[in-house]
Amino acid sequence: MHPVASHTRRSALTLGALLALAGCSLVSPVAEPEQAAAAKSPGNPFEIVASPNLLDRLEIGEPEWTSVSATLSVASRVEVDERRAVRVGAQVSGRIKEVFVNEGDTVTAGKVLAVIYSTQLSETQAEFLKAYTREQLAQRAVERAKQLLEADVIGIAELQRREAELADAEAEIAAARDQLSVLGMS
């Protein structure tokens, strides 16, 4: 037999014998509190002396293994720790299409929480694309006008008109880019 198992078995038998002797104590359950206090060993912190009221409710028996489970019902209220909660909002209005996290989930910076369908954002993106296309066309028109001016096909006024159109297109694309930036797009 293994030495640790033998030692454990001996300890368990010794404990069982001590509990059996404690159950056969000479102090009766109806003994006076003074007698119980006199029988108490002042040096043993594990010794418990029960009052007569407690002895009426105690059941003394053989020690045995059993599973213990208890349910305790109490009145309570669950609250969110406001110091750990964060308010989440979007820079655009719209309808939520998908949600990727649940309340209480831990998230990191940059994680996508939800997808929002926003008509305002869609319209602003379309305006940006139109302004980009106009700017590209105006740039090509200025380049052609410079070539035509060098060939003496058009006058300087036509080149200046096309350069003004390019400046307008550049201003439109800058405004559309700023609007997208306000809506959280880069």
Distance CA 25, CA 30 (A): 12
Residue 64 lies in a domain: no
pLDDT in tens, 49-99: 888 888 888 888 888 888 888 888 888 888 878 887 777 787 778 888 999
Nearest to 138 by CA among 90, 185, 173: 173
0.85 exceeded by the pTM?
Answer: no
CB neighbour class for 146 (10 Å; exposed up to 12, middle 13-18, buried from 19): middle
**What pLDDT, on a 0 to 100 scale, did the predictor assign at position 131?**
95
Instruction: For residues 144 and 124, give the distance between their C-alpha atoms in angstroms, rounded to a whole number.
Output: 30
185 and 101 within one domain = yes
Structural domain that includes position 38 = 3-57
Domain count, the chain: 2
Indicate the SS3 state at residue 116.
strand
Q: Which two tokens stand for residue 65?
A: 């293994």
Residues 49 and 94 both lie in one domain: no
Q: Could you tell me if residue 81 is inside a domain?
A: no
Answer whether 113's CB lies under 8 Å from 122's CB. Answer: no
Mean pLDDT of 22-38: 53
pLDDT of residue 145: 93
In a domain, 63, yes or no: no
Report whether pLDDT(161) > 90.
yes
pLDDT (0 to 100) of residue 44 = 77
Residue at token pair 């669950």: 78
- Encode pLDDT of 110-157 as tens digits: 888 998 888 888 899 999 999 999 999 999 999 999 999 899 888 999
Q: Is 69 part of a structural domain of the chain?
A: no
Q: Examine the domain organization and report whether 18 and 100 are in the same domain.
A: no
Q: If we measure between CA atoms, which residue out of 112, 110, 92, 90 comes closest to residue 101?
A: 112
111 and 173 fall within a common domain: yes
For 55-81, what is the HEC assignment? HHHCCCCCCCCCCCCCCCCCCCCCCCC
Give the residue, 62 or 185, on which the prediction is more confident: 62
The answer to whether residue 183 sits within a structural domain is yes
